[in-house]
Structure 1
Amino acid sequence: MRTLVRTSKLSAAMLAFAALAGLSGCSSKAAAPEAPRNALVAHPQAADALNAEVYSGDVHARFESQLGFRVNGKIKTRLVDVGNHVEAGQVLAELDPLDLKLQVASANANLSSARANRDLAQSEFDRYRPLLDKHFISQTQFDTVSNTLKAAQAQLQQAQAAFAVAQNQAEYTSLRADHAGVITAINAEAGQVVSAGQAVAMLARDGSLEVEIAVPENRIGAYSVGTPVAIESWADAGKQLAGHLREISPEADHTTRTYRVRVSFDDTALAPRLGQTARVYFVDANTTAQILIPLAALYELGGKPAVWVVDAKTHQVRLAPVSVAAYREQGVTISGGVSAQDWIVTAGVHKLREGQAIAPIDALNRAIAL
């Protein structure tokens, strides 16, 4: 009987110990830190693009020159390719100079002949002058000699001018760049016969870059020279550069019925490369300071709107009161409280608490390094 009592007491003690151990295990699990939960985060978007009118165009140099020879001839050699950067005065192509050298030789011979005729007429004039003073010849005879001298002098001046033109034309056998820039097109090759003024190469000068766009005639009246714009390269989407409207064509294109408009970059150093596609945004001045957030990112704090802002270092969230400007189909327009550089939680905001650490992810469920 005593043995049974002892066994019961021992069993009770073991059960009590097991219960205590279970309670201890539960408390240790409760004390373990909570793992960060995944949260969808994003940057607020600039709201100025909501009401902006967007036009696509190409990047051009402000000054583009079609370069051609000033004389006719056959191209002997081409010294540059498309994409080459050239300096002012650099030779781009050369003509065969044989014919022009012959023209120089012919003009030089005519000059020598005219100089000889002038010298002969001068000697006749010098010989007849004293004869007139002694009345050995008539005034009519002397006038004839004097006029012959004047004609010879005029012919000499004409020959000198023709010789200078022939020399200049001989120098025009070299096509030179009039400014530093980039060759964007080649329209003739070695061996080709070209006429004076025919475009051989296109030069985009160094310096200002612009975007050329086409604006329909029903909207051209809304813009004026100096209007600020935002420019975004198709190759670098999301990065907008400041610019302004520089030039509006006074006449619409006869085929497309659109007006050619040139938009300049405020900082040429940040401009895209020549020929790249760019979008031009004509922004409403009333929305330039506003940003757009998803409706699901909006939270209520004491009856006022707020958003959860993520600390980039600790990944902890905090509530930031915001000022709502308007509710739109695309989201909520915010006029203050957060900036476009902040990271905000865009979904599941009602499950967060102040100071909670999160694991930021994007819309494709990929981890984000803030």
Structure 2
Amino acid sequence: MSNLPRLPRSAAVLAWCLGILVAGGCRASKESEQARIVTVDVAPVLLSQIQRTVVSDGLLYPARQAALVPKISAPVKKVHVERGAHVKAGQLLVELENRDLLATAAESRAAFDLAEATYETTSKAAVPQEVQKAELDVQTAREALDAQQAIYTSRQSLFKEGAIAQKEVNDAQVSLTQARSQYELARKHLEDLQGFAREQELKAAAAQRDAAKGRYDAAQAQLAYSMITSPIDGVVTDRPLYAGETAPAGNPVITVMDTSRVIARVHVSQTEARELTVGNDANLIGGDNVPVPGKVVQISPALDATNTTVEVWVQADNREEKLKPGTSLSVEMIAKTIPSALVIPRTAVLTSASGATYAMVIDPDNKPHLRKIAVGLREKAKVQVTDGLESGQRVATTGAFELFKLDPDVLGKTKVQIAPAKEEEEPEES
């Protein structure tokens, strides 16, 4: 028998367990030293177009709308169009009762014609009686002047012959001077009378004619107000009245919308508004998810007082009338376009707790490398990379975050397995 002391049975069991644990730990250490394999999807870094879009919900309005309110109060006589009818500018839409207006217009027309005839007659009329008397006075004064001139001339001749005294010549000269003064006064009176009387008479006739013309024009305007025409090309969207009904004051009798173009009114933040300019391309996306191209046509210079946003108008062609005013829809406005930018899928961008951005680059040996990147424009599915990557590199997408969580030492010993490309399911044959 051996002289070695025998171990108690409990100690032997403990030694056996410790041996098992040591052996297991060695195996785990060897396994950790082996490279880990993580399955990921990859995508290439591409040169592609990317756009900065501003997205907001909006409401559609017609490009133009005319809610026609009558300028006179009268019952509806006849409505010439129905709701949904396409009309042209100047087309008669509604007639109001106007028999009284027709009579007033006819009466005012007759009064105007009479006043105009009176003016024409006055402008060609004979000289008034007072002017005729003044003309006779001028003629008499002229005859007296001629007679005194003859007497004065005769006495001068007689005085030279010594037949009369100087006094008689002087008396004749005084009489001649008086006759000349009388003639000048009569002539001046006639000229003044002719100018003033003629002018006043013509002014009075012209004033009567113009007043009659004004009353006639006013009657014609009232009559025209009873014929309601469309000011625009468009579609009749509302006609609330029927023959015999009278519109309440201030209420339209018919509404016309120009729906060949529509305007989506949206509200964006001040920051987004600064990125937009008039003329930017845009898309209107309704319930059918089919984008309709449009353009930014107006950016409000002031903030909306209720929510401190900026109102932006986007106009789109709607000649096929697919878009209906009053519809809510999504509006995408393209603020900036870069035609050739380095882009990666949005799922490839990894963000740390501090906000730094990274991408997991997969080298040709399928080893992952964490790269810090700078990003620019972002779209729904892709992101612009301005620094940190090169065209042609591969980045991990699905599964990238699992690699991102690994310690750097572990990541360096990790290899990736590229997931097979997903095939699109073919439609089942019916």
TM-score, length of structure 2 as denominator length: 0.51
- Which of 273, 294, 301 pairs up with 1:220? 273
Alignment-derived partner of residue 259 in structure 1? 310
Query: What is the CA–CA distance in structure 2 between the aligned matches of 1:59 and 1:368, rounded to whole Å?
Result: 40
Q: Does 1:360 align with 2:430?
A: no
2:331 counterpart residue number: 280
Q: How does 1:35-46 map to 2 (within 5 A)?
A: none
> Which AA in structure 2 matches 1:57?
G
**Contact 2:90-2:230 within 8 A present in 1 as well:** yes
Which among 192, 195, 198 is matched to residue 246 of structure 2? Answer: 192
By how many angstroms is 1:279 displaced?
A: 1.1
**Where does the alignment leave 5 or more consecutive residues of structure 1 unmatched?**
1-45, 306-324, 338-348, 362-366
What percent of counterpart residues are identical? 20
* Residue 167 (structure 1) aligned with residue 220 (structure 2): yes
1:38-65 per-residue CA deviation (whole Å, 9 max, x = no partner) reads xxxxxxxx9969x743211233332333
Q: 1:248 maps to which residue? A: 299
The aligned residue for residue 37 of structure 1 is none
Q: 1:47, 1:291 within 8 Å by CA — same for their partners in 2?
A: no
Distance 1:359 1:108, change over 3 A: closer
Instruction: List per-residue Cα deviations over 1:111-150 (Å, max 9, x = no partner).
Output: 2553465467557654445554334896576534641332
Contact 1:121 1:145 in 2 (8 A): no
CA gap of 1:65–1:260, structure 2 versus 1, over 3 A, is farther
Please say if residues 253 and 259 of structure 1, whose CA atoms lie closer than 8 Å, have aligned partners that are also in contact: yes
Q: How far apart are residue 262 of structure 1 and its match?
A: 1.0
Please name the residue that 2:70 is paired with.
69
Three-state SS of the structure 2 residue aligned to 1:134 is helix
Unaligned runs of 5+ in 2: 1-47, 139-185, 349-361, 368-374, 386-390, 393-417
| Counterpart pick for 2:136 among 134, 144, 148 | 134
Task: Show the counterpart of 1:153.
Answer: 206
Conserved 8 A contact 2:54-2:333: yes
Pairwise CA RMSD: 4.6
Deviations 1:271-291 (A, max 9, x none): 742323321123464678868
- Contact preservation (8 Å) 1:180, 1:205: yes
User: 3-state SS of the aligned residue for 1:208?
Assistant: strand
1 CA distance for matches of 2:73 and 2:339? 56
**Equivalence map 1:1-370=2 (5 Å):** 52-115=53-116, 117-118=118-119, 121=122, 126-128=127-129, 130-135=132-137, 139=190, 143-144=196-197, 146-186=199-239, 190=243, 191-193=245-247, 199-205=252-258, 207-217=260-270, 219-229=272-282, 231-237=283-289, 239-265=290-316, 268=318, 272-275=322-325, 276-283=327-334, 285=336, 303=365, 350=419, 360=425, 367=427
CA contact (8 A) 1:59 1:272 kept: no
1:171 is aligned with what amino acid?
A
Alpha-carbon distance in structure 2 between the residues aligned to 1:216 and 1:359: 40
Query: Which position in structure 1 is the counterpart of 2:407?
Result: none
Q: Partners in 2 of 1:81 and 1:272 — Cα distance? A: 21
Displacement of 1:333 after TM fit? 5.7
Q: What do the CA deviations read for 1:71-96 (whole angstroms, capped 9, x no partner)?
A: 44333233333332112222111111
In 2, the alpha carbon distance for the partners of 1:240 and 1:131 equals: 92
What is the CA–CA distance in structure 1 between the aligned matches of 2:381 and 2:213, rounded to whole Å? Answer: 80
TM-aligned CA deviation for residue 151 of structure 1: 0.8
Structure (1/2) with the larger helix percentage: 2
Checking the alignment, whether the CA contact within 8 Å between 2:302 and 2:310 is kept in structure 1 is: yes
Distance (whole Å) between structure 2 residues aligned to residue 169 and residue 73 of structure 1: 11
1:263 Cα offset (Å): 0.7
**Alignment check: 8 A CA contact 2:77 2:96 kept:** yes
1:19 equivalent in structure 2: none
Cα distance 1:185–1:260, how it changes in 2: closer, same or farther (>3 A)?
A: farther
Deviation at 1:359, TM superposition (A): 7.3
Q: Distance in 2 between matches of 1:150 and 1:352?
A: 99
**C-alpha displacement of 1:171:** 2.7
Residues 11-61 of structure 1: CA deviation (Å, up to 9, x unaligned):
xxxxxxxxxxxxxxxxxxxxxxxxxxxxxxxxxxx9969x74321123333
Q: Is the 8 A contact 1:180 1:206 kept in 2?
A: no
Distance 1:291 1:66 in 2: 52
SS at match of 1:235: coil
Change (3 A) 1:92 1:146: same
TM-score of the superposed pair, with normalisation by structure 1: 0.58
Amino acid at match of 1:262: W
SS state of the match for residue 169, structure 1? helix
SS of equivalent residue, structure 1 residue 236 = coil
Q: Is the 8 A contact 1:233 1:272 kept in 2?
A: no
